[in-house]
Structure 1
Amino acid sequence: MAPALFWILFFPATVFSFVVEVSPKNAMFRVGDQEEVRCTMKDCAHTPEFSWRALEDRPMYVKTTTRGSESVLTYESVKRDHENRLICTASCGGDSKQKQATVKVYSFPEAPVISGHERLVLGKDATLSCKVLDVYPGQETELEWRDESGVLETHRGTESMRTLELNVTVTPTREGRNITCRALHHMRGVPAERSSIQTTVTLSVPYAPIEVQLSGSDEVEVGATLTLRCSAVGKPLPQVQWRGPQSAGQWLQDEGGLELVVHNVTHANAGQYECQASNFLGQSKTSLFVIVQGPPRNTSLTLSPRHPIREGESVTLSCRTVSVPVGEVRLLHDSKGKMTKMLSVKGSEINFTLPAAQLNQSGLYRCEASNDYGNQTNSTQLTVTAYPLQVELLPVGVVTAEIGSTLSLTCQASGCPLPQLSWGAPSTEGVLRGNYTEGPRSELSLKVNDPAQEGVYTCHARCGSITASRQTRVNLFSFPSVPIIERSGSQLEGGVSTFECAVTDVYPLESFRILWLYGEEELPQQTPPETTLTPAPTLTATLVSSVSMVMKLSHLGHPLTCQVELQMEGVPSGQRRRSAVTHIDVHHPPRNTSLTLSPRHPIREGESVALYCRTVSVPVGEVRLLHDSEEGVMELLSVKGSEINFTLPAAQLNQSGLYRCEASNPYGKQNNSTQLTVTAPPRNTTVEVLPSQRVMEGENVTICCRSISFPPPIVTLTKLGNGTEISSWSGTFLLTNLTPSDAGDYQVNFTNDLGNNTQVFTISVMERRLTPSRNWEELLIPAVVMGTTLAFAALLLDYVFRARRKGSYELAKCNPSTA
């Protein structure tokens, strides 16, 4: 009992006496810092155990470390997502306790950023911008502008805001004053030293350089010292740069800064000097032109064009110098040791022109320049030479021209800029007028229509005292048209035809040749070509040649060519030969007349069939297509020509028969024929029972079967029920001495190669009481045999006749009187 009482009294003291604490309980962490939350157990006799959990549904993103009686949550870099309420559960033995810690997060940078103060412009309002980046929570932050007078602008953040921005407009009157942007964080728990940050700037209004001045002497003698000084006003203080004649267009920073000094001045130092003052807002510059005085220099004497100069050409002598101050320039000519002054001017340049240089103007020329400081000369040699005159006449050699055309001769002179050109006529007397001359080129255009224009043409050229000439010969021809072939005599096969070939307006006659060609074979001419002169003043004539031929059928359609050749040099190849061709037409009566079918017969009824009627006939005559039918001869088509194409789009039985193609022309006629057969299966079938389908016992009946078809059908009579079957070519059946057993249904079947047709009918036999019945088959068979034999013979004759006439067949009608 005593031990039990001991545990009851002692156990609560050992289990419930341990203490759990968290630090800090209400944490305020800044974003980006490294922070810790600790959970500590005291007075635990056992090994403690710790666990952490977040009350808000988000990850903790922390590192947990347990060392003895303490558990540490480490935030390596605090983030906004670390805001939470944390529970630390500590277990000692079998019991546990919990403690809660709250973690709040804020973000506040080191200092606001002010912009816009560096862009202040003199005399203009400016807007300054203050930004505080990465603030949190936004609704707990505030931004304000302040100066020595107090608060200018304020702005409170919002919950969603991460960047605070506040603008303020400043006027030029604030020049030199300070302005402050302060950011405040009002969140409870933020350390006081971190709850306020600020940035202060001084307002300074810069301006670009102004009042740039350049001073110093603008005239200096060679060898003296040049001193120039530059001044300017600006904020910030401008930097000075110099640019002068020897700086190659680049700005140079002189060691003297505002002063530029050039010692021992030369002419190269003369020119434009510029001073440029600049700062980051802009630049300004001014300039001064400096003149360096001294004796003449760079004196030159040039020729244009450069020598050698051809006699009669223009040449300009240019005498130039650089002289400060300006003095006198003279141009002198040394002719055979004697110096002659050509021109003298007050200045620095002479341009002297010899419009037509002569040989005696060759020699040494001198340019002499002088001023108060000295003189300088320069000289050059002028050489005047004669022109090497050459003449070219185009076309070269012999020129062949067609009468009635325009001939152009071109004379080209070279080696002389302004030659004198003229033309000589073929007779070498006089000079041709009306030619076109421009510079060293002359063109002579001739309308070739006069016999006197054939001969030698000469081009004369003169350049000063030098002359030259060239000649060419002009030959004329005329071959303007193709020959014409005319035919006379008989055109009928076996007759003689004469062909005459004439070519007009030809020249020269002795250069022409006429050939007759039958295919590739040359034919002998009946007579030499005849010549008929064209009336004066032209030189042309007409050549005529003829050839005769006995007309043969083998000549039909063959070409007969009259070929005229001009055998003369210089004639273009396309004008040397002209030909006329006629195809020999031999007349004859129609022949090779044919009539064909497509497709070939037999033709099934309803099919399309084409009939082609053709013939060979010269001249073309008439072609007729005829049809021999039961109604007589019918003309289907007649045309003027040699061919008929006639189509029966849906052939019928009555269109069978003989067709004839008949061709005729003035010399005779010829025909040809063919048979068209149209076939069809049995149709329009009828069955007639005579005298009636109801007869008395012992009487006879005749069964007449009719059908339209070709070829003729086989007719089969079948008694339905017992299968008795008999056939007939004529379609007529005779049933004799009928008995009641012969009564019943009968079937007639019409059959040919193209199809069949069936008819069913009924025969009724009334019984005679007094007459004993006989088997109908015993009476029928002899009657049928005899009737069939007679009918078949008649049918065969009728079939042959009809087949020849129209190609169709219809079973013969029954004669009731003979039934």
Structure 2
Amino acid sequence: MDGARTVLLLSCWLWCVQGLQVDVSPRRPLFPLGSRRRLLCSARDCDAPPPHVAWTPPGDRPLGGAVEAGDGGAAAAVTFDPVAAEHEGALQCRVVCGDQIKHVTVRVRVYALPSPPLVSGLDRLLSGSEAVLTCRAPGAHPEDRVRLSWLRGGREVQSGSEYRFGVSRDDRGAEVTCRASLDLDLGGPDQNLTRETTVRLEPLAPPTPPSLLLLPGPDVLEGGHVTLSCQSDGAPPPTLVLKREGAELRRAGPAPSSFTSSLSFNFTAAPEDSAHYTCEATNQLGSEVATATVNVRAHPLQLDASPELWAELGSALLLSCRASGCEEPPELTWSRSDPDQDPDRDQDRVLQTSREPDGRSQLRVGDLGPEQRGGFACRARCQGVTRERLVRVQVYAFPSDPVLSGPAPSPLLIGRPSSLLCVAPSVLSPNGARLRWLWAGLTLASRTFEFSGHPRNLSLELQLQVDQGPAQDQDQIQDQVRVRVRLGDPVELSCEAELLGDDGATWRSRRRSVELEVQAPPMPPSLLLLPGPDVLEGGHVTLSCQSDGAPPPTLVLRREGAELQRAGPAPSSSSSVLTFNLSSAALEDSAHYSCEAANQHGSKMAAVTLRVKAPPRNTRVLVLPSAVVPLGHNVTVWCRSAGWPPPALTLTRLADGARLPRPPGGDVDGGFLLVDVRPEDGGRYRVNASNELGSEVTHFRITVTGPGPGPLLLAVPAVCALAALLASALLLEYLRRSRKKGFYQLAPSGLERR
């Protein structure tokens, strides 16, 4: 009993001595970056009131985590999610229990080694030189605690971020490890504090000089088997290229999982295989070349055959070839050789095989059709050597000359476009055909045709326009051809159909020609007046008219619209000519003369004016309304005189010599008006008509009566009517002769007095 009491008293004493306790878990926090971690602070041995626990960072640094209270306030946890570098540092847990306050400080440390280290510099490994490999641990924290080391064969050979070593070919395939460690001295998990990266060394090396082997040797007989073999080492493995006289024959890439590249090329020797062969080994570090020469001796086997034969559609043909230079009868094979099919299928097209002692072979092909195009091959085989000759059989069809039609519209007319058509029927030509329109050695139009293997009708249309010109010539405007010819010359056109050879030249041709008459409307006639448009009365006058046309035009000569003479076309000529003579020109021959040229395609006209010179004559005077005039009335005097040049007229009163001025313009006819006549206006008057060839004088009288009604005044209306009729007749006559009218008005004092 005393012992138990003693233990209880001792426990109470210890509790009273120890007092408030604070626990932090974990006590030495070490958190990996990016993880979720929790730091717990709890209080115990605290009597009422309940304790208060809180986390606080020292200074002004933010806490950086989420705080959560628990156990009725006796614990507080701070959670970092995720853990970041700024969470590293000191944190303080403060516990208040009544009047007791206790602080516990812990230091949070963070670390990171997220991935294996990175090794660089492997692409710069070159045999025979020093290499530097570099290692780095991206994202490691803290950086000053990272330790880098290099291992080869399981043992450490160097420390630090760089590994320097001499490179040799023996290093191919060797492994090097870079180890990154975090030295935290906290006994953390090894797998989180150490990372390793192992790399394989592949040192680079230029190609070795290739070995080029030639089997069975450099000299070989035509038909023998030849093998060229090439080999070279390198890192990376080189690419091999075999060439003959610079032309690539074969290419071989590097072999997988090997530093050696090899190439092999086999062929059956032919004369053209005699050449220089090269094998080039290449990688990014350089290249090496080896060379060999092959000399192929020709086999004496020869094969002769005609290279090309032409045969008409539907005919038969005998093909022949002959082999020589073989010690035993050669095997001769005829087969179809179609360039549009695979040559490896020749055996499927064999037509005939033979062995003749004389080395000859003949093949008969009958009823040739378009399907025989492509040719026939004759092959000779002797001691493994093959000779082949291709006989091309050209099947053609060219049954007749071209057929011509046109022109349309007909006939061929100067200046009017026409169409002509040329058709070559049922033509077949393997190398194509051509149609040409020809004129005077010139090609007016041309077209080339191709064939799909069957005969066809060929056609070529010519759009032609013939113009008149001094010489034969031609040009082209868009799709129309224009030729120039002399009027009356026929146009001979030819259409030529041509079969073409391989070189595009004419191999065979047919031609059809046609002579076309060219017609044309009349040309504007030339109307000549000899000796000229002005001639003296009684002189000789010749009118000559000429015009061209096809057919030659009819000429009609007219005077003032009335026909004088007609002339038909001249024989064997495209020109028409008309001549009209006036042996003694009279004044009434002065007129307009016209010459009209006409044929069925149109008409043209030319005109001239003839003027016959003569002195004035037949001067006439007409006084209206009468020569007896009442005082104060008006009177009109009309004068007319014939002659050329038009006579000048003067009117003079003889009583006092008063004269009217000469009418302006020198008109042939003059009209004079006396207004409000007076007694002194009565008396005799003289009319004088004159030109450069002479003059003529005429007299008349005017009587002035007193005023008042009388028989004379009663007769005035009748006289006026008669005068109007006469004046109208004179005007019509004047208009018919196309002469000008002169009109003058005299005032009472308008006469000159002497």
Normalised TM-score (structure 1): 0.38
Normalised TM-score (structure 2): 0.41
